[in-house]
Amino acid sequence: MKFIFRSVLVAAALSLSSAGAFAQAYPNKPIKLIVPFAPGGFTDVVARILGQKLSVSLGQQFVIENKAGAGSTIGTDFVAKAAPDGYTLVMVSTTHVISPWIYKNIPYDPIKGFTVVTKLVDSPYVLLANPKVPAKNVQELIALAKAAPDTIHYASSGNGSSQHLMGGMFAAMTGAPLKHVPYRGSSGAANDLVAGVVETSFAGVPNALAQVPQGRLKALAVTTAKRIPQLPDVPTMQEAGVAGYEASVWLALLAPAGTPRDIVNKLNSEIAKVMAEPDTKKALYDAGVDPTPSTPEAMSAYMVKEMDRWGKVVKEIGIKVE
């Protein structure tokens, strides 16, 4: 019995030692970071900023791979089914907790199907209009849309996206009959907005900063309760006369369910460090986002609340994907 007991202790010690060695060795090969949106959009910009910094910090390349489609569910499903070894991660947005309310038969559980690593950033969206639209402000846009129903379109990065929901919420709250035009990514939506193919869009701050200062687009309002420093002259939606309208988009880093806690902790710690560096802060500021890293537990709880919140919004405004 003593021999057996001693053997069990040795085996347990070796197991703990192996687990510790594994965590210390992580990462020992490139890490695949899935962005479930098309290149050039809000999430993609942040992924490339952090991927570059983490490649240096962790000594292994972060390979950014865009897998867009179906309201971000295609790329996210890919990660849900990946090995829980820390080498396949996904950067999700608020869309992660919106899509399940809009799409039928999502092939994963948005909460239980993943291990949260950290919250990353928060950002407002901006109501943009092509310069050919005669409206100078939000109230004029609403009046224009009501005077000629279904002639004012709003572009989004796809059905079920944050852009889709923010535009639908705006239309419902103001009574403005805006017509939704979904694209396969925010980059395509932005290109057609600049070209005048569509009249308006609720876009991420990076897209706004790339076009508004040059006069290629007009910024009519931001979606948050406070103005943003990158566009200080642009009013909030509430200042523009849409009482009660407030929304922002967040990004988070997730791993497949069952990813070892040591790996999650290491990623969480490294991300907090690189996001606190001055050059990273500047890059994120220039991209129009606010760094808001968190513990895995805090973000897990926040995602549950956000899923409930946006589910109620979807039901109230009746957004559906056929």
Q: How does residue 187 score in pLDDT terms, banded at 50, 70 and 90?
A: confident
Whether residue 195 is found in the same domain as residue 259: no
Range of the structural domain that residue 33 is part of? 28-122+249-317
Among the ranges 54-58, 163-167, 312-316, which has the highest mean pLDDT value? 54-58
User: Does some domain include residue 322?
Assistant: no
Q: Domain for residue 263, yes or no?
A: yes
Residues 135 and 198 in one domain: yes
For residues 49 and 198, give the distance between their C-alpha atoms in angstroms, rounded to a whole number. Answer: 30
Which comes out higher in pLDDT, residue 318 or 214?
214
Q: Are residues 138 and 212 in the same domain?
A: yes
Q: Please tell me whether residues 108 and 129 are part of one structural domain.
A: no
Dmax (CA) of the chain: 88
Res 91 pLDDT > 80 = yes
Higher pLDDT, 204 or 120: 120
Q: What is the pLDDT of residue 199?
A: 98
Q: Average pLDDT of 59-76?
A: 93
In a shared domain, residues 115 and 133? no
* pLDDT exceeds cutoff 70 at 173: yes
Q: What is the pLDDT of residues 231-270, one digit of tens each?
A: 999 999 999 999 999 998 999 999 999 999 999 999 999 9
Torsion of CA 214, 198, 228, 213, to 10 degrees: 0
Question: Within this chain, do residues 93 and 164 fall inside the same structural domain, yes or no?
Answer: no
Residues 37, 50 share a domain? yes
* Residue 312 pLDDT greater than 80, yes or no: yes
* Angle between helix 95-102 and 162-174 (nearest 10): 70
Q: Is the peptide bond before 27 cis (omega within 30 degrees of 0)?
A: yes
The answer on 108 and 51 residing in a single domain is yes
Question: Could you tell me the end-to-end alpha-carbon distance of the chain, in angstroms, rounded to an integer?
Answer: 66
Per-residue model confidence (pLDDT) at position 83:
98
Question: Is residue 9 a part of any domain in this protein?
Answer: no
* One domain for residues 148 and 92: no
Taking the C-alpha atoms of residue 168 and residue 170, their distance in angstroms, rounded to an integer, is 5
Q: Are 119 and 301 spatial neighbours (Cβ–Cβ below 8 Å)?
A: no
Burial annotation 242-281 (CB, 10 A radius, 16+ → b, else e): beebebbbbbbbbbbeebbeebbebbbebbeebbeeeebe
Average pLDDT over residues 118-140: 96
As a whole number, the mean pLDDT across the chain is 90
For residue 295, the domain's CATH number is: 3.40.190.150
Which pLDDT tens digit goes with each residue over 195-212?
Answer: 999 999 999 888 898 899
Same domain assignment for residues 255 and 107: yes
Give 300's pLDDT tier (boundaries 50, 70, 90). Answer: very high
Same structural domain, 106 and 139: no
CB–CB of 93/42 below 8 Å? yes
Q: How far apart are CA 146 and CA 245, in angstroms?
A: 19
Number of domains in the chain: 2
Look at residue 24 in the predicted model and tell me its pLDDT: 60
Q: Is the pLDDT of residue 4 over 60?
A: no
Res 19 pLDDT > 80? no
**Nearest 5°: CA angle at 282, between 279 and 286?**
140
Q: How deeply is 144 buried, as exposed, middle or buried, from its count of CB atoms within 10 A (0-12, 13-18, 19+)?
A: middle
pLDDT band at 161, cuts 50/70/90?
confident
